[in-house]
């Protein structure tokens, strides 16, 4: 299982690409990202915010923003997907996931900036999340979304998730997937787990 080095979160960053080949960096959120992350959330359409956070909001409440920007607190983690241009980094997507040790599962949610829908960022972000979840020792992933969220439902179906009725709220649907051995192995987090495991074996 991955133990985060909070002093060097940059080592867990990954680079993926849009369908047109633009580079997108996936990295952990830090406290210094608070203003830009809040601006990203405010910049989403009202419909996208409603679907992402399962309710109406114009921005992240201060307590939620603080939680988002402190990676690893209570086994909860936040990522941003960012692109660079003209020496400026801009957030084009985000994801939040939590590890549940009682059943080795990871719960997640994500969003992509409206203008970047259809460019392949969502699928790449989800695949990266599965790899990061495997690095934590998770054997399954799940998420909840509104039954009206066609974009997220379509993404989950294409990514191999199975759907079932939400246990508590009829307006939601839950999607789940077994990961582990079948997870993508290309993320920095999982490579570090494998490398550290090999080093421990050699030291014995």
What does the DSSP assignment read for 95-119?
Answer: EEEEEETTTTEEEEEEEE-GGGTTS
Kindly state the average pLDDT of the residues 149-160: 96
For 187, list phi and psi in degrees, rounded to 5: -85, 155
Q: Domain ranges for the chain, please list them.
A: 6-203
Structure tokens of 201? 């074996």
* Strands laid side by side in the 14-17 sheet: 14-17, 23-28, 76-85, 88-100, 105-112, 140-146, 172-178, 162-165
The confidence band for 109, taking pLDDT boundaries of 50, 70 and 90, is very high
* d(C-alpha 108, C-alpha 6), whole Å: 21
The CATH classification of domain 6-203, taken from the options 3.30.470.20, 3.30.720.110, 3.30.70.1290, 3.40.630.30: 3.40.630.30
User: Cα separation of 136 and 180, whole Å?
Assistant: 10
**Is the model's pLDDT at 3 over the cut of 80?**
no
What integer pLDDT is reported at residue 130 of this predicted model?
Answer: 94
pLDDT band at 185; cut points 50, 70, 90: low
State residue 181's pLDDT score. Answer: 56
Cβ atoms of residues 147 and 173 within 8 Å: yes
Q: Residue 180's pLDDT is what?
A: 67
For residue 183, the model assigns a pLDDT of 59
70 DSSP 8-state letter? S
């Amino acid at each position: 299982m991955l133990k985060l080095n909070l002093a060097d979160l940059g080592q867990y960053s990954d680079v993926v690409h849009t369908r047109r080949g633009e580079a997108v960096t996936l990295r952990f959120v830090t406290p210094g990202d608070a203003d830009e992350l809040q601006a990203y959330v405010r910049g989403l359409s009202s419909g996208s915010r409603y679907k992402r956070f399962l309710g109406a909001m114009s921005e992240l409440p201060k307590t939620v923003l603080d939680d988002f920007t402190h990676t690893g607190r209570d086994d909860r983690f936040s990522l941003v997907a960012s692109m660079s241009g003209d020496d400026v980094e801009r957030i084009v997507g985000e994801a939040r996931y939590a590890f549940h040790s009682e059943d080795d599962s990871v719960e997640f949610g994500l969003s992509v900036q409206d203008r970047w829908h259809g460019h392949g960022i969502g699928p790449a972000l989800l695949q990266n999340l599965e790899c990061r979840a495997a690095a934590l020792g998770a054997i399954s992933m799940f998420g909840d979304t509104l039954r009206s969220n066609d974009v997220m439902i379509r993404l989950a179906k294409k990514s191999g998730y199975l759907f079932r009725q939400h246990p508590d709220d009829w307006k939601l649907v839950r999607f789940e997937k077994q990961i582990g051995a079948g997870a993508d192995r290309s993320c920095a987090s999982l490579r570090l787990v494998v490398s550290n495991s090999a080093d421990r074996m050699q030291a014995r």
